[in-house]
Structure 1
Amino acid sequence: MKTAAFIFGLALSLVCVVHAQETGKTQAERVAVLKDKRINESSGLAVSLREPGVFWTLNDSSGEPCVYAIDQTGKTRGKIRIPNAVNFDWEDLASAKAEDGTPHLYIADIGDNLGVRPTITVYEIAEPSLPKDAGKEELSAEPKVWHVKYPDGHHNAETLLVHPLTHRIYVLTKREDGHSALYLFPEKLVSGVPGLLQKIAAVEFPNRHRLGKRPLDASQTTGGAFSQDGRRIAIATYSDIHEWTLKADDKVETVLPTESRIIEVPLTSQMEAVCYDAGNETLWFTSERLPTPLWRIKR
C-alpha cells in the first residue's frame, strides 16, 4: 500500500510539473513608458491592424468609455469614444479582421469582482484610420453591443480571446485558486438580446513560487490574445505569461488545458494586458500601475 501510495503521489507531482513548462527568464525590453496620464490603468492591449507600429489600450473599471491608440515611443496617437457605452469593468481588448477583411476591435466589459452582474458585455467597433494629428482629436465609433450570460452563475473574468480566422469569441474566467474555465460565445449574436455562453474547458493555472511575487499571483489570469495567424495563444497572469502553440486543426478547448510554456517576464507591479504584434512573433505587454511601461519580448 505504501508503494502504491508513493507511486500515486509521484504521478500527481509529475502532472503538476508538466502542466506548465517553465523556460526561465526572457530577453524582454522596456521599449517606452506611456506618456499620457489619462491612461492610468492599462488593462487591455491589442495590436492595430490598420496602423503599423500602433497598439490600442483601455483603462480599467470606472474609466471613460474610450480606447487609446499608442505607438512604440509611448506617445498617444488617438482616442476613440464609444457612444452610449459604460465602463463598468473593462478588462481586456482584442483586435481581429471581420469576415469582410475590415479590422475590428473588441472591448471586453467582463469584470465582476463582486459576482453580481446578470450579463457581461463586449463592444465591437470597426477600427478607424487615424489622421496625422489624431493625438489632438477625439474620434467616435458606433459599436455593436453583445450581451451574454453564463450558464452556471456569476464569474469574474479579465481575458477575452477572438480567433482571427474563425471569428469565434472566448472568455476565460479568473480565480485565486487557479481553476479557470473557458467559455464560448454563441456563433450567432443578436444585438440587444443576451446570448448564452457555453462552458467548453477547464484550465488550471497552479500557484508557484517566484521571488518578488505571491504564489497566487501565478494563478490569476489577467489578459490574453491570439496571434493574428491563429497559431499562438498567450495568457497573462500577475506573474508570468503562458503560451500555447496550435496546429491548423487544433481546437482551443483541447489545447488550453494542456501543457503551456511559461514565459517569466520582468517583475511588474500589475501586468494585465498582453498581445502579439502583427507579425505573430513578438509579444507586447503593459502594467496597470503608473508609470505604465510598454514591454516587448522578441523571439
Structure 2
Amino acid sequence: MGAFAKHRLFDRQDITGTLSDKEMDETSGIAASSISPDTYYVHNDSGDTSRFFAITAGGKLKSTIYFKGDSTHKLGVQDCEDIDVGPGPQKGKSYVYLGDIGDNAQNRPYITVYRMAEKKSWAAGDATNVNTEAVRADFKYPDGPKDAETMMIDPIAQQLIIVSKRGDTVAVYTTPLKYKANTTTVLTKRCKLYFEGFKPFKWITAGDISKDGQQILLKSYDKVYYWRRQHNEPIWETMIRKPQELNYKVEKQGEAIGFQPDGKGYYTTSEGVFSPIYHYDVPN
C-alpha cells in the first residue's frame, strides 16, 4: 500500500519568533499543551539529557522539565526524536509522551517512550527548572530495528503511532495507549507509505495528529504532507490515501511539526541555536 503526494497548497506562513534559549539547540519535536494556553513542548535529540522544554508559540522559555530516564545510559536517554500530548491511563488527564526512538545505526534492541502527567505549573514559570515523574515503557518492532523520528498520539483510537524514517518506503506501527509500564511490547505493523523524491530529503522526520483526531501531518526534510480522516477510520487507512502537499519553507534541519490546539494551523522549527518558529494555516 502506498501514498503519493502530488498537490501543493500554498498557505500563508509567518515567523512567530525564535527559540529563545541556547539550550534548545537540536530541537526535534514540538507539541501543544492540552491544559495551558500558548504553551508548547519541545526537546533536543541525541546528546541531550532527560528533559524537555515548555515554551510559548513565540519561543520564550517557560520552564525546563527534567525526569529520571534510563540509569544504564549516562544522559538518561539515547536519542529522543518526537514529543506529543494526549490521553493516558487516567480518564480526563493529559499526558506528555517523549519518544526515545532514534536509531541511526538501526541496531537498538528496543526503543523507549516516557509518559508524564501534564502539569499547569510548567506553563507558569519564567525559565524555571522543574522535576517530574516519568513512566517508562519499551517497544520492539516486529520486523527488526528501525530508525524513527515520528511519534504521534491518536486520541480517537487511543493508540501510539510510530512512523519509520529511512528507506524508499516507510512503515506505520501502532500500539494501544493502555500499554503496561516497565515492560517491552511488540508494535503492530499496519502499512507502508511511499513518497516521491530523493533520499535523504524524502525521509520522514516528524508528524502530528490534531487534538480532535481528524487531521494528520507528516513532514520530510523538504515537504509537509496532510490528510483528513474520514468517519473515525483507523489512522493507517487515512494515511494510505494520497495526501495533500502543503506549503513549507525548508529549514536548516527541520525535524519538528505540531498542530496548534484548535487544529487550524501548525508550527515547525529546526535544529540549531535560536531557530525560527514558523506558523502555517491548514487548508479550509
Relative to the length of structure 1, the TM-score reads: 0.87
Question: Could you tell me how far apart the structure 2 residues matched to 1:50 and 1:132 are?
Answer: 9
Residues 16-66 of structure 1: CA deviation (Å, up to 9, x unaligned): 9x8213224331111101110000011010001121111000001120211
Structure 1 segments unaligned to the other structure (5+ residues): 1-14, 208-214
Measured in 1, the distance between the counterparts of 2:271 and 2:239 equals 25
Q: Percent identity?
A: 26
Higher relative contact order (CA 8 A, sep 6+): 2
Q: CA deviation at 1:283?
A: 0.8
Deviation string, structure 1 residues 154-191 (Cα, Å, up to 9, x no partner): 110000011122321011001142x1001112564222
Give the deviation of 1:217 after TM superposition: 4.5
For residues 265 and 190 of structure 2, the distance between their equivalents in structure 1, rounded to whole angstroms, comes to 28
The offset of 1:200, in angstroms, is 0.8
Name the one with the larger helix percent: 1
Determine whether 1:57 maps to 2:47. no
The corresponding residue for 1:189 is 179
The residue aligned with 2:73 is none
> Pairwise mapping of residues 251-270 of structure 1 onto structure 2 (< 5 A)?
251-270=234-253
Point out the structure with max Rg over C-alpha.
Answer: 1
Which residue of structure 2 aligns with residue 20 of structure 1?
Answer: 5
SS in 2 for 1:135: coil
Cα distance in 2, alignment partners of residues 206 and 156 from structure 1: 19
Equivalent in 160, 163, 175 of residue 169 of structure 1: 160
Instruction: Give distance in 2, aligned partners of 1:155 and 1:26.
Output: 33
Question: Does the C-alpha gap of structure 1 residues 30 and 201 become closer, same or farther in structure 2, counting only changes over 3 Å?
Answer: same
Alpha-carbon distance between aligned partners in 2 of 1:221 and 1:244, rounded to the nearest angstrom: 15
Instruction: Identify which range, 108-117 or 95-104, moves more after superposition.
Output: 95-104
Does the Cα contact within 8 Å between 1:274 and 1:286 map onto a contact in 2? Answer: yes
CA spacing shift, 1:132–1:284, aligned 2, 3 Å: closer
Contact (CA 8 Å) 1:239, 1:264: kept in 2 or not?
no
Question: What is residue 11 of structure 1 aligned with on the other side?
Answer: none
Q: 2:232 aligns with which of 233, 236, 249?
A: 249
For residues 295 and 132 of structure 1, do their structure 2 counterparts lie closer, same or farther at Cα, with a shift above 3 Å needed? closer
* Runs ≥4 residues deviating over 4 A: none
TM-aligned CA distance change 1:131 to 1:260, over 3 Å: closer
Aligned-partner Cα distance in 1 for 2:124–2:236: 43
> Residue type matched to 2:95 in 1?
H
Cα distance change of structure 1 residues 135 and 246 upon mapping to structure 2, 3 Å threshold: same
CA–CA distance in 2 between the matches of 1:49 and 1:277? 10
Displacement after TM superposition at 1:216 (Å) = 2.5
Structure 2: 5+ residue runs without aligned partners? Answer: 71-75
Aligned residue number for residue 127 of structure 1? 118
Conserved in 2, the CA contact under 8 Å of 1:81 and 1:140? Answer: yes
Aligned positions, number: 276
| Structure 2 SS opposite 1:134 | coil
Amino acid at match of 2:248: V
Aligned equivalent of 1:143: 134
1:153 corresponds to 2:144: yes
The residue type paired with residue 121 of structure 2 is L
Deviation at 1:281, TM superposition (A): 1.2
The whole-number CA distance in structure 2 between the counterparts of 1:74 and 1:164 is 26
1:252 deviation in Å? 1.0
Of the candidates 103, 117, 120, which is equivalent to residue 108 of structure 2? 117
Q: Which amino acid aligns with 1:255?
A: T
Aligned to 1:130, the other structure's residue is in SS state helix
CA RMSD in angstroms comes to 1.9
Task: Give the one of 268, 276, 281 matched to 1:285.
Answer: 268
